[in-house]
Amino acid sequence: MASQDARLSKFEVDFKQQQSEMTNKINTVLKAITDRITGALPSDTVKNPKLNVNSTALVLSARSYLTEDP
């Protein structure tokens, strides 16, 4: 009976150690995911420089191509 108690006690100690290690690994993964999500969309975005294109210039350049009458 004493050997069974000793084995059970060792099993409980090993189980708690493995549980602690798994908890630490899960916390590490969750922290990495949380850091990745918070860094995914920066709050200070850069303005698109192409938004300042002159639309009149685009229309004129599109009409400047030579076309042949069918």
Domain count, the chain: 1
Domain assignment present for 19: yes
pLDDT band of residue 8 (cuts 50, 70, 90) is very high
Give the pLDDT of residue 23: 96
Domain assignment present for 1: yes
- CA dihedral (61, 62, 63, 64) positive or negative: positive
Give the pLDDT of residue 15: 96
Which of 64, 48, 66 minimizes the C-alpha distance to 56?
64
pLDDT digits (tens, 9 = 90+) for 9-68: 999 999 999 999 999 999 999 998 888 776 666 555 666 666 665 555 555 555 555 556
Domain assignment present for 9: yes
